[in-house]
Amino acid sequence: MTDTITNWTKSDDARIEDAIRRGATRRDLLRMMLASGVALSAGGVLFGRAEQAVAATPVSGGHMKAAGISSSNADTLDPAKASLGTDYARCCSLYNRLTFIDGTGEPQMELAEKLETKDAKTWTVTLRKGVTFHDGKTLTSADVVFALKRHLNPAVGSKVAKIAAQMSEIKAIDPNTVEIVLNAPNADLPFILALHHFMIVQDGTVDFSKGNGTGAFVLETFEPGVRSIVKKNTNYWKPGLPHLDSFEFFAIPDATARVNALLAGDVQFCSSVDPRAAKLVDGQKDFRLSRSTVGQYTNLNIRLDMNKPDFVTGMKYLVDREQIIAAALRGFGDVGNDQPISQANVFHNPDLKPKEFDPDKAKHYFEKAGVLGQSIPVIASDAADFSIDMAMIIQASGAEIGLNLDVQRVPSDGYWDKYWLKAPIHFGNINPRPTPDIYFSLLYASDAPWNESQYKSPKFDSMMLEARGLLDQAKRHEIYNEMQTMISEEAGTIIPAYTTNADGISAKVKGLEVNALGGMMGYAMAEYVWLEP
Amino acid sequence: MNAEIAGMIGKRLLLSLITLLIVSFAVFFATNMLPGDTATILLGQAATPEAVAGLRHAMHLDEPALLRFLRWLMGVLTGDLGTSYANNMPIAQLIGYRFVNTMELAGITTLVAVPLAMTLGITAAVLRGTLYDRIVTVLTIGVISVPEFVVASTAVLIFAVYLKWLPAISFVNEVHSLSDLLRMYTMPVVTLTFVVSAQIIRMTRAAVIETLSMPYAEMALLKGASRSRIVLKHALPNSLGPIVNALALSLSYLIGGVIIIETIFNYPGIAKLMVDAVATRDLPLIQTCAVIFCLGYLILITIADIVAILSNPRLR
């Protein structure tokens, strides 16, 4: 057995570590390594190394500085309005949710002790006892009712007003119990309540500048668009947490400056390392990349009401997924099969194969649609990650078979308002969501607010409603599999790849795990990580 | 000071006020041309028509834009800058410490750049045609030609990433001692000094050379005055007008134009605040920032004009 392994980087180590944490067996790991071409003999060494890393005991203390991608004067401490990663990270450190989603993608109880239902319509939330807010007040059902009801008030400007609208009744039964009645059965409520926006704030809060929550940290400094510093909550109800004494978060929008700050030792964590700079971080001994592919994607939307179905089918064959991953994403992605439920989700349909890159077949469909020889505008923008590179790749493939795609690059500012959902052919950018139902009702139902390709199918709608009310997971999986196939075949959204997010971290940062809600452990990193002294 | 000078200065000040009003209206008009408003931007991708309408109403954005502008203007005249649309904080509080940060950066840069640039400019003029003059000229042209983001990024790469002498970003909130101050400000100040000095050096050199070639300078020389006396006593006061103008232009850049430096060093100044405000269509904040930039510019230019008037012997 040898100790030197070629072609093995720190991030592979991290991947193995993540797998072990998520409960992978030795056999799983060996299969994983065989798949990536590492000799079997190396397996033992790696396994030992990774196990050591996992087994290390957390150290308490330290001040961690982390840099996100963007922040602005619109930064907020109001979870209902949170919109950027910086907001999520800050809110996660100050507040708790009723439930949270763990590394395996399953909901776990947080402020709720129990979440019970018989029909998926009426839910009883039993609150954990002895939880206090930072100002000393004990958490009661009144706080939960207030926090949830806020989303229904348009003046609040909640990002999840639409999702919250299904809670037709939210009432306190006793100081420790809340009853939530939905207007239709939805077995996903435990997932929904785990969304960042549903964090619990104190009853009657109007001024959020104090960040008064039940979370692991207490607010020390908050300067919108500049930074926030939080200090360890010594009364935190989760035993042993957090490990850090304090956590500072700010944004460095410039990708190069962000990586430089990490390399210079000014921060211990930086979000979203540009794939082009990945080697710089990954190759060094003091740093590593924490990768997560949890279902974020950039997709090409072809509106079905403005284009011919044959053209859409042709485009699905024209997209060279492998090349997009290799060139546009520089390896930071997994092949997608034109539907939003990624491999990270338990409901992913593994039998649904992506369309092969086949220019001849594509040409056949384009001829049928009669679009060859015309100039077809495609809108791309920096606002949708990697979309300009993707558009160029598809344009080049099209040029070879006589399809003239006119790629129009438009500014990021105003993109979501002016082009997204509106232009006949354009790019979208969707962040990870925990359940298929959220993806489907947001993006593919006939009345979906973000129906990117104007996909309308009564059959799809009724299947969605049926699955939503089912408490039987196997039956549900079956329905979701079929729905994924329908989207992949019928909708006008081409999802070439699920993108991998790579965060750069100092080797001293320990305990960072992959989470289905996105990078930084679904933004809740501060509560769980620790710094090696 | 005689009545004529006072009248000229008074006219300048009045013109400045009118300019300020025009600028704030122009900025307001331009902001309104941008697509989307605060409500759509705050809601982002979640902006359904009902949600936008609800939020717009709650934020009073459904009132006519001109009315909102006039309300803001009235507020400013009575000393109330209003509250930010984006996060409901008082604008004075939002701008306050970031303005202080910007003034700190501008102040330190001025202290470093102005004496340095003027010394180089004057000495180059006095030693015109020598090797020293040529070196200064070539260097200033070189510095003008290199964009500041190249200077800043290269400096970060060398001094922060490889040598680890200085931090890659400026945590100005953590300045507790002189050594902190030096560590945090060295790179931004040096980069800015590069940018603003070059103009001042060239302008000073040209102005001093021109004055030195005047008959009275020759006369002074013939009367046996020393070189340094000619330059400091005779040439410099008379070339002050153009030099102060160049200074005002270069320094006004430090108030609003340092966005690149603020971005690269993550320096919490006011320029980035305004860029953010534009992105969120935060009208009161945009307006207030614009007025501050314009005011800074006008103050500097007006001072330069007044100095030019006062230094003009015909008006003295």
Query: pLDDT tens digit string along A482-499?
Result: 999 999 999 999 999 999
The answer on pLDDT for A8 being more than 50 is: no
Closest residue of A to B97, CA-based? Answer: A223
Nearest to B174 by CA among A105, A246, A121: A246
Q: What single letter denotes the amino acid at residue A258?
A: R
- Which pTM was predicted? 0.77
At A38, the pLDDT band (50, 70, 90 cuts) reads very low
Partners of A289 in beta bridges: A504
Shortest Cα distance, chain A CAs vs residue B171, angstroms: 9
The answer on pLDDT for A507 being more than 90 is: no
Closest residue of B to A229, CA-based? Answer: B173
Would you call A55 an interface residue with chain B, using a CB distance cutoff of 8 Å? no
Please judge whether B86 and A261 are an interchain contact, meaning their C-beta atoms are less than 8 angstroms apart. no
Please judge whether A161 and B51 are an interchain contact, meaning their C-beta atoms are less than 8 angstroms apart. yes
Higher pLDDT, B282 or A1: B282
Would you call A263 an interface residue with chain B, using a CB distance cutoff of 8 Å? yes
Please judge whether A154 and B39 are an interchain contact, meaning their C-beta atoms are less than 8 angstroms apart. no
Dmax (CA) for chain A in angstroms is 70
Shortest Cα distance, chain A CAs vs residue B202, angstroms: 32
A contacts of B160 (beta carbons < 8 Å): 260, 263-264, 266
Q: What is the pLDDT of residues A314-329, one digit of tens each?
A: 999 999 999 999 988 8
Please judge whether A414 and B43 are an interchain contact, meaning their C-beta atoms are less than 8 angstroms apart. no
Shortest Cα distance, chain B CAs vs residue A464, angstroms: 21
Q: Select the residue from B98, B161, B163, B285 to test the A interface by mutation, using most A Cβ atoms within 10 A.
A: B161
Rounded to whole angstroms, the Cα distance separating A240 from A348 reads 35
Q: Select the residue from B149, B173, B276, B281 to test the A interface by mutation, using most A Cβ atoms within 10 A.
A: B276
Query: Which letter, b or e, does each residue of A115-146 get, where b requires 16 or more Cβ atoms within 10 Å of its Cβ?
Result: bebeebbebebbbbeebebbeeeebbbebbbb
At A99, the pLDDT band (50, 70, 90 cuts) reads very high
Rounded to whole angstroms, the Cα distance separating A93 from A96 reads 8
Residue from the list A81, A161, A264 with its beta carbon closest to the beta carbon of B42 = A81
Give the pLDDT confidence score for residue A5 in this predicted structure: 40
Percent pLDDT > 70 in chain B is 96
Distances (CA, A) of B257 to B18, B24, B94, B195: 22, 17, 19, 11
Give the pLDDT confidence score for residue B315 in this predicted structure: 63
Look over chain A and give the mean of its residue pLDDT values, rounded to a whole number.
Answer: 84
Burial of B74 (0-12, 13-18, 19+ CB in 10 A): exposed
The answer on pLDDT for A26 being more than 60 is: no
Rounded to whole angstroms, the Cα distance separating B83 from A348 reads 47
What is the mean predicted confidence (pLDDT) over B256-272? 84
Please say whether the beta carbons of A352 and A481 come within 8 A: yes
Q: What is the pLDDT of residues A289-316, one digit of tens each?
A: 888 888 889 999 999 988 888 999 999 9
Does B35 sit behind a cis peptide bond, omega within 30 degrees of 0 on the bond before it? no
* Element containing residue A171 per DSSP (H, E): strand A167-174
Please judge whether B168 and A257 are an interchain contact, meaning their C-beta atoms are less than 8 angstroms apart. yes
At A377, the pLDDT band (50, 70, 90 cuts) reads very high
Residue from the list B55, B87, B265 with its beta carbon closest to the beta carbon of A74 = B87
Residues 6+ apart with CB under 8 A from A384: A298, A415, A420, A427, A428, A429
Shortest Cα distance, chain B CAs vs residue A414, angstroms: 6
Q: Which of A211-215, A388-392, A524-528, B86-90 has the lowest mean pLDDT?
A: B86-90
Please judge whether A264 and B84 are an interchain contact, meaning their C-beta atoms are less than 8 angstroms apart. no
Closest residue of B to A71, CA-based? Answer: B276
Residue from the list B36, B50, B277 with its beta carbon closest to the beta carbon of A73 = B277
Nearest to A319 by CA among A523, A122, A496, A512: A496
B contacts of A263 (beta carbons < 8 Å): 160-161, 168
Shortest Cα distance, chain A CAs vs residue B183, angstroms: 12
Would you call A280 an interface residue with chain B, using a CB distance cutoff of 8 Å? no
Collapsing DSSP to helix, strand or coil, B124 comes out as helix
Q: What is the pLDDT of residues A391-450, one digit of tens each?
A: 999 999 999 998 999 999 998 877 877 888 889 999 998 888 888 998 998 899 998 878
Q: Select the residue from A63, A65, A72, A73 to test the B interface by mutation, using most B Cβ atoms within 10 A.
A: A73
Give the pLDDT confidence score for residue A13 in this predicted structure: 52
Would you call A224 an interface residue with chain B, using a CB distance cutoff of 8 Å? yes
User: Tokens in use for B136?
Assistant: 């200064």
Nearest to A93 by CA among A519, A525, A532: A525
B contacts of A162 (beta carbons < 8 Å): 46, 48, 51
Q: Pick the most confident of A92-101, A248-257, A425-434, B275-284.
A: A92-101
Rounded to whole angstroms, the Cα distance separating A16 from A22 reads 10
